[in-house]
Chain A
Amino acid sequence: MPLEILLVLVVGGITGIAILSHSLGLSKRRAFQSADDAQAAWQREYPSSSVTDVILSQSGYAALIQTRRSIGVVWTMGDDTCARILRSPKIARVKTGLRLRLADYAAPVIKLELSTEETALWAAKLEGQS
């Protein structure tokens, strides 16, 4: 197959499927329905960890997880979830909440959409002040 035709097919195919999927409403970000929902997503990543506290954000897009040994965040990305135990992340306050930078090539940034009060609480917890 000539390279130009292959290129047109590939680029056209990807663009077409992306537009179709988006217009079918399949780009909507998942939100956790409850603290239990968020904890289940955490436990899916860390089945052996014993969770002591779950703070679900008002947006439902993330939850702060306190376990017996550590602190972590579980969040949604697209229709999926991801979770990480946090060891000294770089925390930056941004307009929409917090932005965490992790030394993790496969999960370099977590954007947390938080209200002003939530931002203060989460930052304090993450910085280990409370």
Chain B
Amino acid sequence: MTISYPDVVSLAVPFFIALILIELAWITITKRGGRYETRDAVTSLVMGAGNVASGIVLGFIAWGFFMVLWDITPFDLGHSWWIIALCFVLDDLRYYWVHRFGHKVRWVWASHVNHHSSQHYNLTTALRQTWTYTFTFMMVVRAPLILMGFHPAMVLFCGGLNLIYQFWIHTEAINKLPRWFEAVMNTPSHHRAHHGRNPRYLDCNYAGVLIIWDKMFGSFVPEQDHDKPDYGLVHNIGTFNPLRVAFHEWVGIWRDASKPGLTLKDRLMYCVAPPGWSHDNSRDMADGIKAKHLKRHPEDQGTPGFEHLS
């Protein structure tokens, strides 16, 4: 039996363009709900186009890996609608963990960093996607799904839907949604916090579609009205050049790991330790940044995003 799932991300491109135009019109007319700057927006869009291109060029690697697993597994859960629904939820859990690794393992961060490299937060930011995902090897996190009997094409279809869902939440034009929705779903508010470089918001809200994973695994931080997310990286990049955006952290890893006089363990740690790790403690990781913030702002002690620091 041949099964085919639509290539939903490509089909969504006209919808992406239309919503960007609507958001831009909204901001222009109402003078609120976010900001656009030409070069920032173009860089984000070019990164999105490059992401699609890299999928076309390198997608066969993950696909080949998935088909090997599919040949091995004795299970086949079929294609009924409720299996697709279950696949979507489990793949969203998969997304949560890949995204969490994306912030806690520098090798994966090198790919994901570019999604956070804009100092803006609008619908074009959603399309600022990686070109180097294949090299993170994070496709292995999908292995259990396929071994359980979800067809690779179904898994990729669900992943595509997940990506499309995340598009519309990259906006400042929507403040808060009804309470039940904010409780269960990832929303513009939750994801704004994820894009914040404020110490409070470092390493929070990794969700794709369902915010419940962050609540289950202790990474949920609600957006605070008095601490507006400041978008971008802890150390912002000084370029709009898409090649530099795509590869700067890989170059950073190489320069660190190839420094003379390091032990083999140090070199490995520069690749896999959390971003900000250094062999001589000359840099700060997320908790170090939070601790320094608390020294300057003791009043924030025990508030969301700082609860785990005494």
A binds B: yes
Within the complex, the shortest CB–CB distance from A63 to chain B, in Å, comes to: 14
Within 8 A of B (CB), among A74-92: 75, 77-84
How far, in angstroms, from A77 to B40 measured CA to CA in the complex? 9
Interchain CB contact under 8 A, B238 and A1:
no
In the bound complex, residues from chain A placing their C-beta under 8 Å from that of B41 are 17-18, 21, 26
**B263: Cβ under 8 A from any A Cβ:** no
In the bound complex, residues from chain A placing their C-beta under 8 Å from that of B248 are 105-106
In the complex, the chain B residue whose C-beta lies closest to that of A44 is B230
**How many residue pairs at the A-B interface have CB separations less than 8 Å?**
110
Main secondary structure of the interface of A (DSSP, over half): mixed
How far, in angstroms, from A26 to B37 measured CA to CA in the complex? 5
Main secondary structure of the interface of B (DSSP, over half): helix
In the bound complex, residues from chain B placing their C-beta under 8 Å from that of A105 are 244, 247-248, 251-252, 255
Interface residue tally on A, bucketed by range = 35 or more
Within the complex, the shortest CB–CB distance from A23 to chain B, in Å, comes to: 10
Within 8 A of B (CB), among A89-130: 104-108, 110
In the complex, the chain A residue whose C-beta lies closest to that of B7 is A1
**With A20-B24, A44-B230 as given contacts, are A79 and B40 in contact (CB-CB < 8 Å)?**
yes
Interchain CB contact under 8 A, A26 and B49:
no
Within the complex, the shortest CB–CB distance from A12 to chain B, in Å, comes to: 8
How far, in angstroms, from A23 to B99 measured CA to CA in the complex? 37
Which residue of the partner chain, among A10, A27, A106, contacts B238 with CB atoms under 8 Å?
A106
In the bound complex, residues from chain B placing their C-beta under 8 Å from that of A26 are 36-38, 41
How far, in angstroms, from A84 to B45 measured CA to CA in the complex? 27
Most buried by A among B21, B40, B251, B292: B40
**B101: Cβ under 8 A from any A Cβ:** no
Interface residue tally on B, bucketed by range = 35 or more
**With A17-B21, A79-B35, A105-B248 as given contacts, are A47 and B237 in contact (CB-CB < 8 Å)?**
no
In the bound complex, residues from chain B placing their C-beta under 8 Å from that of A27 are 37-39
**With A10-B13, A13-B45 as given contacts, are A47 and B251 in contact (CB-CB < 8 Å)?**
no
How far, in angstroms, from A80 to B248 measured CA to CA in the complex? 19
In the bound complex, residues from chain B placing their C-beta under 8 Å from that of A22 are 38
Within the complex, the shortest CB–CB distance from A43 to chain B, in Å, comes to: 11
**With A17-B21, A27-B38, A106-B238 as given contacts, are A6 and B10 in contact (CB-CB < 8 Å)?**
yes
In the complex, the chain A residue whose C-beta lies closest to that of B28 is A24
Interchain CB contact under 8 A, B14 and A9:
yes
Interchain CB contact under 8 A, A21 and B24:
yes
How far, in angstroms, from A110 to B238 measured CA to CA in the complex? 8
**B185: Cβ under 8 A from any A Cβ:** no
How far, in angstroms, from A41 to B260 measured CA to CA in the complex? 34
In the bound complex, residues from chain B placing their C-beta under 8 Å from that of A3 are 56
In the bound complex, residues from chain A placing their C-beta under 8 Å from that of B255 are 105
Interchain CB contact under 8 A, B37 and A78:
yes
Interchain CB contact under 8 A, A45 and B13:
no
Within 8 A of A (CB), among B83-135: 119-120, 124
**B224: Cβ under 8 A from any A Cβ:** no
Within 8 A of B (CB), among A13-37: 13-14, 16-18, 20-22, 24, 26-27
Beyond the given pairs A18-B41, A108-B244, 8 more chain A to chain B contacts, judged by CB atoms under 8 angstroms and listed by A's residue number, are A6-B52, A17-B21, A17-B41, A26-B38, A75-B238, A77-B238, A79-B119, A106-B248
Query: Which B positions have Cβ atoms within 8 angstroms of A?
Result: 7, 10-11, 13-14, 16-17, 20-21, 24, 28, 35-42, 45-46, 49, 52, 56, 119-120, 124, 230, 232, 235-240, 244, 247-248, 251-252, 255, 292-293, 296
The 3 closest A-B pairs by CB, nearest first: A107-B238, A82-B238, A106-B237
Query: Which A positions have Cβ atoms within 8 angstroms of B?
Result: 1, 3, 6, 9-10, 13-14, 16-18, 20-22, 24, 26-27, 44-45, 47-48, 75, 77-84, 104-108, 110
